[in-house]
């Protein structure tokens, strides 16, 4: 097995980022350690990045949300002279496996989405201050921000040079954000994405590639002014005390299984199946938001989200041959409902709001995971509210019908809450129930009428909330046959089928970004024009351009 990729980190371990806090404003500096690559064989020169750099950035963004509620504006800038960011490290991409490249692009997209949404959702706005070359993934960092300031010093430029230089696409949604978010005119976007050298100064602003261009002599002044402007828009609580995101408790066994405090992952590499069991809370919900705040990162509703998030990322990036993820829950449904109710009924409290948004992101992470997803609703399960969303995220669900002989756990139920009707939308901006019942919208209202009711198998099936209900006689054999069949199908066909079926309904910028990543970038990353022995990625830096098969496909 290759090197284990660990997504847990903290500021004491950062090698590539630093944050300076000044009241309502945080200055986030990208200062990549050239020798700090995640793998051997390349140096992270010119502020280029690999997955390790982005793991740290994701941690920074998460901690800004939870540990620093006082921060209203974040200024993203380079910690190096003459370069902002050269983007994803080319030698890393040239030497990485196909699976690593695609998962790297997906994670960087999810990270950009997190700080892209921070302003609109949490009032924590990101301002990008660009000085020096800003190319490829560097510009994609910039366009995920709420505002881009470019210094007009004669050398600073923005560029998406992947097509002419590397025979691949801007892998973090660059093409989509240029046209869909920044509304750059299509012909001008064509020119921009064909230029290795990029675009500078006034033209970058005129084409709407940046928001503001200022002389170098006024660069610092303009940054400070814009940070002040954005901070004034924010409704984040100035005097609130943050919650420290303490390290997760986690044990990883030799066979790849993981044990957290509320989540267990059993990996069966022979069967290519991982079973994720989420345990509900063992204690009553905190009596108030003050009590929840006092529990901090140890409160179940936050801790379970963090552990599930880490488990999904671990499986995505370390267990490539595991093709099926089975979701189970165990616990008291009433306790799960009470914990979720506290955060949903206190949505105006910054911490409750952030926990709700975190569940939204974790559930999206599940939606976007290229593995077959199945939910098993068994006796003793607690699929309630945010956990019930996993049923609707799954490609299929199987629910146990009635009591099982010798099993003294309560009969399997599904309980809907207010959480299933808005707080955790998918990438298509619909709830999972709206997506499920796209052709039968009245079914959503029928489901809403059952909020708070513990629905047993027949009732859940009647309302279309599960795929199949099985009694004790059929349960073991039917589940086994499904898992064996699913794991035997072509993983490429499964990735394509599932990505097509999971996101019906309206397109959004987010669904386009991930859909295009799944289809086009996935395909291009396997083409010899990019990754072949004479491809552009392999020849980058040699002085010899890639040799292309010129047939259009």
Encoding tokens for residue 350?
A: 């910054």
Residues 399 and 465 in one domain: yes
253 in a structural domain: no
82 close to 42: Cβ distance less than 8 angstroms: no
pLDDT at residue 108 greater than cutoff 50: yes
CB 551 within 8 A of CB 545: no
What separation in angstroms does the CA of 98 have from each of 104, 171, 525?
10, 13, 7
**Other Cβ atoms closer than 10 A to 257:** 15
* Residues 345/357, Cβ–Cβ less than 8 Å: no
Cα(144)–Cα(112) distance, rounded to whole angstroms? 6
CB 118 within 8 A of CB 66: no
The answer as to whether 351 is a domain residue is yes
Q: Examine the domain organization and report whether 205 and 288 are in the same domain.
A: no
Same domain, 177 and 311: no
User: Residue 520: its pLDDT value, please?
Assistant: 83
DSSP string, 119-155: HHHHS-EEEEEE-SEEETHHHHHHHTSSEEEEEESSS
pLDDT band at 519 (very low <50, low <70, confident <90, very high): confident
115-128 mean pLDDT = 97
Q: In the prediction, which pLDDT does 3 show?
A: 84
Structural domain count, the chain: 2
* pLDDT tens string 179-222: 999 999 999 999 999 999 999 999 999 999 999 999 999 999 99
In 3D, which of 288, 311, 292 has the Cα closest to residue 300?
A: 292
Full domain range(s) for residue 110: 13-233
Give pLDDT, residue 403.
Answer: 87
Evaluate if residue 406 carries a pLDDT over 80: yes
231/388 Cα distance (integer angstroms): 37
* Segment 80-107 mean pLDDT: 93
Contact 24, 72 (CB under 8 A): yes
* β-pairing verdict for 199-200 and 157-159: antiparallel
In a domain, 29, yes or no: yes
Q: Which of 415, 405, 529, 426 is nearest to 475 (CA)?
A: 405
% of the chain surpassing 70 pLDDT: 100
Q: In whole angstroms, how far apart are CA 428 and each of 172, 433, 499, 510?
A: 18, 12, 13, 7
Same domain (yes/no): 274, 229: no
For residue 524, being part of any structural domain is answered with no
Q: Report whether pLDDT(2) > 80.
A: no
At 306-333, the pLDDT tens digits run 999 999 999 999 999 999 999 999 999 9
Handedness of CA 99, 100, 103, 109 (dihedral sign): negative
The answer to whether residues 486 and 408 belong to one domain is yes
Look at the block and give the residue holding tokens 């039917």: 478
Same-domain pairing of 205 and 287: no
**What integer pLDDT is reported at residue 1 of this predicted model?**
38
Clarify whether residues 210 and 69 are in a common domain. yes
Cβ–Cβ under 8 Å, residues 508 and 429: yes
- The answer to whether residue 349 scores a pLDDT higher than 70 is yes
Please say whether the beta carbons of 373 and 353 come within 8 A: no
pLDDT level of residue 482 (50, 70, 90 thresholds): very high
Rounded CA separation 19/21 (Å): 6
Handedness of CA 93, 315, 111, 60 (dihedral sign): negative
DSSP string over 477-541: HHHHHHHHHHHHS-HHHHHHHHHHHS--S---HHHHHHHHIIIIIHHHTTSHHHHSTTSHHHHTT
**CA pair distance 302, 299, nearest whole angstrom:** 6
What's the CATH number where 33 sits?
A: 3.90.226.10
Residue 342 falls within a domain, yes or no? yes
267 token code pair = 């990996």
**pTM, 2 dp:** 0.96
């Amino acid at each position: 097995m290759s090197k284990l990729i660990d997504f847990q980190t903290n500021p004491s371990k950062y090698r590539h980022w630093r944050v300076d806090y000044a009241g309502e404003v945080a200055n986030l500096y990208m200062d990549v350690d050239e020798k700090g690559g995640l793998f051997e064989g390349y140096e992270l020169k010119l502020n280029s990045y690999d997955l390790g750099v982005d793991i740290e950035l994701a941690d920074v963004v998460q901690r800004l949300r939870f540990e620093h509620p006082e921060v209203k504006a974040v200024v993203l800038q380079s910690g190096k002279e003459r370069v902002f960011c050269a983007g994803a490290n080319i030698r890393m991409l040239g030497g990485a496996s196909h699976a690593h490249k695609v998962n790297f692009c997906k994670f960087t997209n999810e990270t950009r989405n997190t700080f892209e949404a921070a302003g609109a959702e949490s009032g924590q706005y990101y301002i990008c201050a660009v000085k020096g070359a800003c190319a490829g993934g560097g510009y994609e960092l910039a366009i995920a921000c709420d505002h881009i300031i470019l210094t007009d010093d004669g050398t600073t430029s923005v560029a998406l040079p992947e097509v002419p230089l590397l025979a691949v696409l801007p892998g973090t949604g660059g093409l989509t954000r240029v046209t869909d978010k920044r509304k750059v005119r299509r012909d001008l976007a064509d020119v921009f994405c064909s230029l290795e050298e990029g675009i500078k100064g006034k033209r970058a602003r005129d084409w709407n590639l940046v928001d503001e261009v200022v002389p170098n002599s006024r660069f610092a002044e303009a940054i400070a002014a814009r940070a002040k402007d954005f901070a004034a828009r924010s409704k984040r609580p100035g005097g609130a005390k943050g919650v420290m995101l303490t390290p997760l408790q986690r044990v990883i066994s030799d066979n790849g299984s993981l044990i957290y405090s509320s989540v267990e992952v059993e990996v069966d590499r022979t069967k290519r199946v991982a079973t994720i069991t989420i345990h509900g809370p063992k204690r009553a919900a905190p009596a108030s938001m003050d009590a929840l705040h006092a529990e901090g990162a140890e409160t179940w509703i936050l801790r379970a989200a963090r552990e599930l998030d880490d488990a999904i990322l671990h499986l995505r990036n370390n267990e490539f041959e595991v093709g099926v993820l089975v979701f189970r829950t165990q616990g008291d449904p009433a306790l799960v409902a009470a914990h979720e109710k506290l955060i949903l009924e206190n949505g105006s409290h910054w911490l409750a709001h952030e926990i709700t948004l975190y569940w939204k992101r974790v559930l999206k992470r599940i939606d976007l995971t290229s593995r077959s997803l199945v939910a098993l609703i068994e006796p003793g399960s607690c699929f309630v509210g945010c956990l019930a969303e996993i049923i609707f995220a799954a490609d299929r669900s199987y629910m146990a019908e009635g009591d099982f002989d010798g099993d003294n756990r309560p009969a399997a139920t599904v309980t809907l809450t207010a959480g299933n009707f808005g707080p955790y939308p998918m990438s298509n901006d619909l709830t999972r129930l709206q997506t499920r019942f796209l052709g039968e919208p009245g079914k959503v209202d029928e489901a809403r009428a059952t909020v708070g009711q513990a629905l047993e198998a027949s009732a859940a099936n009647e309302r279309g909330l599960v795929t199949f209900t099985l009694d004790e006689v059929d349960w073991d054999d039917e589940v086994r046959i499904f898992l064996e069949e699913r794991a035997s199908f072509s993983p490429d066909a499964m990735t394509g089928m599932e990505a097509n079926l999971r996101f019906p309904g309206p397109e959004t910028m987010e669904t386009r970004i991930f859909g295009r990543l799944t289809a086009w970038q996935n395909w291009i990353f396997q083409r010899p024009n990019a990754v072949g022995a004479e491809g552009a990625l392999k020849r980058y830096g040699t002085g010899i351009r890639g040799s292309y098969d010129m047939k259009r496909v």
